[in-house]
Amino acid sequence: MRVKTTAVVAGLMLAAAACGGQSGDTKPSASGSAPAAKPLAGTTIEIAAKWTGEEQKSFQKVLDAFQEKSGAKVTYASTGEDTGAYLGPRIQGGNPPDVAVLPQPGLVQQYADQNALKPLSSEVQAQIDQNYTPYWKSLGSANGQVYGVLVKAAHKSLIWYRAPAFDDAGTQPATTWDELIKSAQTVADSGTTPFALCGASGWTLTDLFENVYLSTAGPDNYDKLSKHEIPWTDPSVTTALEKIGQIFGKKEYILGGSSGALQTDFPTCATQVYGQKKAAMVIEADFVATTAVQSGAKVGEDAKIMPFPKAGDTAPVVLGGDIAVALKESKGAMALLEYLASAEGGSVWAKNPGYLSPNRNVSPDNYPDPLTKQLAQTIISAGEAVRYDMSDLAPSAFGGTDGKGEWKDLQDFLRNPKDVKGTQDKLEADAAKAWKK
Amino acid sequence: MTERLDGPQTPRGGDDVARGASPGPDETTETKGEVTTHPALDDDVATGESGALPQLATGGPASPKARYGGSGNLGPAPKVAVFFLLPAVVLLGAWVVYPIVYSIIRSLYDANGGTFVGADNYAAIFSDSGTLTTIRNNLIWVVLAPSLVTALGLIFAVLTERIRWATAFKLVVFMPMAVSLLASGVIFRLVYEQDPDKGVANAVITSVHDLFASSSGYPGARPRENDQAPALVDKGAVVTRQAAQAGQPVLIPLVGMKPEALPSGAAAARSAPEAPGELSGTVWLDFTPGGGTANKIDGNEKGLPEVTVEAVSGGAVKATTTTAADGSFHFTGLPQGSYQVRLPQSNFTQPFSGVTWLGPTLITPAIIGAFIWVWAGFAMVLIAAGLSAIPRDALEAARIDGATEWQVFRSITIPLLSPVLLVVLVTMIINTLKVFDLVFVIAPGSVQPQANVIALEMWRVSFGGGGNQGLGSALAIFLLVLVLPFMAINIRRFRREQA
């Protein structure tokens, strides 16, 4: 079975290289010696992902390009917000989609344990080796097998600022943590609150922590802490928390003080910066752009970004993102995954709005706006040091539940930023409980 | 009056019956005598009523029913009975009995459902501090919410009886029932917003507060925080770092305010002219966008007018003055010596920002408030129905005997209403025990641990990220055990009513 699929995919690649002179012959030959132009004609592939609206439209363009090239018919199914709840019953019912896009790496492990995933073919793996750092390959792997490929990224190492507020204060975007604190002080002196924090949405605090930690402790420690190989009581965590405490600990740095911040959900904090113009900066990912535009700000003019300042030796780049996996042993599924993992597919996608590629061979020039181009460049220049959102790698009881684990402990830290030691103890206790399960 | 009106009627009807000699007058005198001879109204009516009702109820329909069931011949054949029972049994079995039994079994296994752990999950409920908080919160809920809802419903019901637009009023109070609990939660999340511009609760509180206390002129203004700054914050007041001498102008630069927020009369800051033997100085906003020299009065930096300035010596205030439009101040007639210049805290007090409803301390009462808003209408309608069924003559008799309205309410209305009140109370207790959506929606993520209740914790543990359906099942069974006594009360009461 495996061999046959491989042969077919090889045929597809040859066909693509031959620029499709022939037409009509749809039977892919098992030997691969006489490649057809559209080797997948007549095949139907179903792909399930959570994207809707603009994101779905952009993705559809990629699927159209793939259909054009391969002749296969691809149908898109929307999973809604809760991908697990959509896929679970379909897997149990024996009728999964050919390809699914999972929002968390944790699901890769979960479905691999249920034997619901098919290992990627060597062609797909070749694409991954060519276009991604080994870190991403291991992220899509479970139990020693490669199952998934990261197809779409969210850039989480950003600080959004309101340019007029910085101009009023006469300060510049920061490149180091100390500069950031100095800018914040200047902005505060000018009468504008520097930061709007979404303390009620715990994941915004974990994102902040991950950036500071990746920067101060480096990628190796980041990986260890992600897997709970070093405890949360480690001195490297102390350093990161103390840095964060420089912001959390100052009443005039946070809009509404810590009590106000803890009542603020995402994306309200972005609205506070760009809509109500009460604060100057919000520390969150690229998707703040949506809220900024809704609040009437122009991205690139008054809504600007600075890469997350270096708090230590590493310039942090933390990504979130979606991982595509095959749920059926079909030649179409592998062909589609190979296309999505390729620089070719990524470039088609990149020309459409609302997409950022983790693929290092997708040129930043493909992106339609300068902002995304800038983000793509930070990913490429960070190279091997790029890391995935740590809280999404943790068991969800620790890294993904309201009022529990890391979310709660960092919220408590925001409430009482002096208690670094106590925060670490609580984090370690919760982590130990979550990893034991 | 009523007796006299009744009097003539009874003999008219009594003609046909002709039972005994003139029953009419006898009866009236008897009842009248009874009421007058028992001044202890509450005892009489209460015991009389509660004693009489069950007697009537059990005495009548119960005896023929016993005969019917006992003979067995009058009922349907057993096979037919089974046939008719089957749909209900199947549905109940599939949707109620099986899930309960399975939950009990599941609660004895671990998160993956593979290993039998006995009562470990139940032990976990009582050993985890987070879960104990949920139990404590449920306790607060059960004590507060049902009684408040019932009390409020009773007040509404009694009051609406008296007003002309009762139906309209009831409609309005009942309206929240038409809104889903989730939507009510969203509404109250907004009501409780900290920002008075958004949250109506704080908007009311701050506007009432501001009627009595005016806010100060310069909230947020503060000296720079470094060692070069000539002034620093001490117990909320701004004080000079060095002692001031007469003849040396004192500089008090402040930051942290927008120039637009200054009063319109503020003029460009000017250092006070040196007057020999006079303590003088300037308070100004020391911030020029893009630079300016710290602690120096630059070109267009403005003074802060109307700031209270105190000259302090040896811990005592020796003189007080206020700044002019350009921020300068002078103390006239001060004896020579060194003073500390102080801007008291009253200059800088933050505007009152209302109550932190969504903070850790007030969150549960705040959510209970939303719950009351939703359910008070329901309680009112039920109680109003019960109220209209109360015999009027008892109330009127009491009034004739000179009982005040309060006595009538306390001693007659409430005892007669008590069955209805109990229904409402028990229904509300069950409702509060399973409260979920309001807590889930209203409490921000950061205070969810403090607001958590058992039903929410059950969902979180099993589906909302926890992934431990063993512990979740144990919580579900625990909740069931808590609800059972109240179900039993309800069932017993139903049975008594039907009997």
- pLDDT tens digits, B325-375: 888 888 877 777 788 888 888 888 777 888 899 988 999 999 999 999 999
Q: Considering only CB atoms, which chain A residues are within 8 Å of B468?
A: 397, 437
> What CATH number is given to the structural domain containing B277?
2.60.40
Q: Does B208 reside within a domain?
A: no
- Give DSSP secondary structure letters for B435-485: --HHHHHHS-GGGHHHH--HHHHHHHHHTSS---HHHHHHHHHHHHHHHHH
Residue range A181-205: mean pLDDT, rounded: 92
**Residue B343 and residue B235 share a domain:** yes
Indicate if B339 and B367 belong to the same structural domain. Answer: no
Mean pLDDT of A159-170: 92
φ, ψ dihedrals at B250, nearest 5°: -95, 135
> Does A260 sit within 8 Å of B444, measured CB to CB?
no
Tell me if chain B has a CB within 8 Å of the CB of A109.
no
Question: Do B390 and B328 share a structural domain?
Answer: no
Question: In terms of CA atoms, which chain A residue is nearest residue B222?
Answer: A189
**Where residue A135 sits, what CATH number does that domain have?**
3.40.190.10
Burial class (CB within 10 angstroms; exposed 0-12, middle 13-18, buried 19+) of B55: exposed
Q: Is A262–B464 a contact, with Cβ atoms under 8 angstroms apart?
A: no
Q: Please tell me the predicted confidence (pLDDT) of residue B374.
A: 93
Mean local confidence (pLDDT), A66-78 = 92
| Chain B closest-CA separation from residue A153 CA (Å) | 23
One domain, residues B390 and B443: yes
Does B236 contact chain A (CB < 8 Å)?
A: no
- For residue B316, being part of any structural domain is answered with yes
Handedness of CA B186, B191, B196, B197 (dihedral sign): positive
In this complex, the residue of A167, A202, A256 whose CB is nearest that of residue B445 is: A202
pLDDT recorded at residue A437: 56
Report, as an integer, the average pLDDT of B246-270. 82
Q: How many other CB atoms are there within 10 angstroms of residue B499's CB atom?
A: 12
Pair (A172, A293) in one structural domain: yes
Residues B323, B403, single domain; the answer is no
**How far is A31 from chain B, CA to nearest CA, in Å?**
46
Q: Is residue A418 part of a domain?
A: yes
Q: Is the pLDDT of residue A9 over 50?
A: no
Please tell me whether residues B366 and B331 are part of one structural domain.
no
- A387 located within any domain: no
Question: Is A283 a domain residue?
Answer: yes
Task: Please give, rounded to a whole number of angstroms, the shortest distance from the CA of B257 to a CA of chain A.
Answer: 4
Split at pLDDT 50, 70, 90, the class of A86 is confident
Q: Are residues A145 and A57 in the same domain?
A: yes
Same domain, yes or no, for A127 and A237? Answer: no
User: Strand A318-326 to strand A99-102: parallel, antiparallel, or no bridges (unpaired)?
Assistant: antiparallel
| B467–A contact, CB cutoff 8 A | yes
Would you say residue B463 has pLDDT above 90? no
Question: Which strand (E) or helix (H) includes residue B69?
Answer: helix B62-71
Q: Which of A187-196, B242-251, B270-279, B335-344 has the highest mean pLDDT?
A: A187-196
The interface residues of chain B toward chain A in range 40-99, judged by CB-CB distance below 8 A, are none
- Mean pLDDT (whole number) for A41-65: 90
Both B484 and B371 in a single domain? yes
Asked if residue B99 is part of any domain, the answer here is: no
SS3 B269: coil
Residue labelled with tokens 């490149």: A175
**A427 pLDDT band (50/70/90 cuts)?**
very high
- Judged by a CB distance cut-off of 8 A, whether residue A201 touches chain B is yes
Q: What is the pLDDT of residue B476?
A: 94
Q: Is residue B302 very low, low, confident or very high in pLDDT (cuts 50, 70, 90)?
A: confident
Interface residue B359 vs chain A (CB under 8 A) = yes
Q: State the complex-level ipTM.
A: 0.73
- Angstroms from A109 CA to nearest CA on chain B: 14
Residue B169 lies in a domain: yes
Q: Are residues A281 and A300 in the same domain?
A: yes
Distance from CA of A64 to the nearest CA of B (A): 36
Instruction: Indicate yes or no: CB of B444 within 8 angstroms of CB of A265.
Output: yes
- The mean pLDDT of A337-342, rounded to a whole number, is 94
Same domain, A329 and A311: no
Q: What is the pLDDT of residue B465?
A: 65
Whether chain A has a CB inside 8 Å of the CB on B445: the answer is: yes
Whether B90 is in a domain gets the answer: no
Mean pLDDT across chain B, nearest whole number?
A: 81
Last residue of a domain, one of A334, A350, A380: A380
3-state secondary structure of A44: strand
Whether pTM exceeds 0.90: no
Domain match, A408 and A376 both:
no
pLDDT per residue as tens digits for the range B31-82: 444 444 444 444 444 444 444 444 444 444 444 444 444 445 677 788 888 9
Q: Which of A190, A264, A408 lies nearest to residue B449, judging by beta carbons?
A: A408
With cut-offs at 50, 70 and 90, classify the pLDDT of residue B445.
confident
What distance in Å separates the CA atoms of residue B59 and residue B313, rounded to the nearest whole number?
A: 92
CA angle in degrees (0–180, nearest 5) for A403-A394-B126 = 45
- pLDDT of A97 above 90: yes
> Which chain B residues contact residue A400 at CB under 8 A?
465
**Together in a domain, B323 and B269:** yes
Cross-chain Cβ contact A403/B467 below 8 Å = no
Burial code of B97-108, b = ≥16 C-beta within 10 A, e = fewer?
A: eeeeeebeebbb
Pair (B333, B399) in one structural domain: no
The answer to the question of residue A282 being in a domain is yes
Q: Are residues A148 and A294 in the same domain?
A: no
pLDDT recorded at residue B72: 55
> What is the distance in angstroms between the Cα of A253 and the nearest Cα belonging to chain B?
11
Q: Same structural domain for residues A310 and A220?
A: yes
A410/chain B closest Cα distance in angstroms: 9
Same domain, B185 and B243: no
pLDDT at A8 over 60: no
In this predicted model, what pLDDT tens digit does every residue of B400-426 receive, in sequence order? 999 998 999 899 999 999 989 998 999
More confident residue, B358 or A39: B358
Q: Please check whether residues B370 and B480 belong to one and the same domain.
A: yes
Residue B419 located in a structural domain: yes
Helices (H), A144-297: 163-169, 177-189, 202-226, 235-248, 257-262, 268-274, 288-294
Which range (B31-35, B145-149, B466-470) has the least confidence? Answer: B31-35
Residue B13's pLDDT band (cuts 50, 70, 90): very low
Instruction: Confirm or reject contact between B444 and chain A (CB < 8 A).
Output: yes
pLDDT at residue A36 greater than cutoff 60: no
Q: Average pLDDT in the B204-217 region?
A: 80
> How far B256 CA lies from chain A's nearest CA (Å)?
4
Q: What is the pLDDT of residues A225-273, one digit of tens each?
A: 999 999 999 999 999 999 999 999 998 899 988 889 999 988 899 999 9
- Average pLDDT on B103-109 reads 93
Q: Which domain holds residue A427?
A: 158-316+394-436
Query: Quick check: A252 and B130 CB within 8 A?
Result: no
Residue A237 included in any domain: yes
Residue B280, in any domain of the structure: yes
Q: Are A142 and A189 in a shared domain?
A: no
Interchain proximity A263–B224, CB inside 8 Å? no
B426 with B490: CB under 8 angstroms? yes
B447 has a chain A CB within 8 A of its CB: yes
Residues B245 and B322 placed together within one structural domain of the fold: yes
- Number of domains present in the structure of chain B: 3
Residue with tokens 């200054």: B262
Query: Which residue among A190, A259, A408 places its CB closest to the CB of B287?
Result: A190
Q: Are the CB atoms for B74 and B68 separated by under 8 Å?
A: yes
- Look up residue A198 and give its two tokens: 């979404």
CB-CB: which of A188, A199, A396 is closest to B446?
A: A199
Range of the domain at B489: 120-194+357-498
* Pairwise CA distance, residues B252 & B233, whole Å: 12
Residue numbers in A near B446 (CB within 8 A): 199-200, 202, 262-263, 403, 408, 411, 414-415
**Are residues A197 and A265 part of one domain?**
yes
Structural domains of chain A, count = 2
Is B108 within a domain?
A: no
- Whichever domain contains B158, its CATH number is 1.10.3720.10
CB contact under 8 A, B224 and A170: no
The model's pLDDT over A294-314, given as tens digits with 9 standing for 90+, comes to 899 988 889 999 999 999 998
Q: Are residues A174 and A290 in the same domain?
A: yes
